[in-house]
């Protein structure tokens, strides 16, 4: 599943950042494998999107979120 597919109240863990021209930039912003992330806010037309990552909000374009693979996790795990 891609980060861009995440819905509100879903918690996910980043599996990997797909190769792209912005791969390094996205990883420098804290999107590294093993990091937990959740959808915080979405613009009315769906772009940009804000995610909660390690206690801060990270905004990105939908196309950037489509370069990040995630897996859903349950709150207790």
Using one digit for the tens of pLDDT, what is the confidence trace for 41-72?
A: 999 888 999 999 988 999 999 999 999 999 99
Per-residue pLDDT at 75:
66
CA-to-CA separations, 22 to 33, 64, 68, 69, 71, in angstroms, rounded: 16, 8, 11, 14, 21
pTM: 0.87
pLDDT > 90 in the chain, percent? 69
* Structural domains of the chain ordered from first start: 3-73 (2.30.30.90)
- Categorize the per-residue pLDDT at 6 as very low, low, confident or very high, splitting at 50, 70 and 90: very high
Average pLDDT over residues 16-30: 91
Contacts of 37 (CB under 8 A, 6+ apart): 3, 6, 11, 12, 13, 14, 31, 51, 52, 53, 70
Q: What is the rounded end-to-end Cα distance, in angstroms, of the chain?
A: 19
């Amino acid at each position: 599943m891609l980060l861009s597919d995440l819905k509100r109240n879903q918690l996910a863990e980043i599996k990997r950042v797909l190769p792209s021209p912005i791969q390094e930039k996205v990883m420098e912003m804290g999107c590294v494998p093993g990091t937990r992330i959740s959808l915080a806010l979405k613009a009315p037309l769906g772009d940009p999107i804000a995610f909660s990552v390690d206690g801060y909000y990270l905004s990105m374009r939908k196309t950037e979120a489509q370069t990040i693979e995630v897996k859903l996790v349950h709150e207790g795990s």
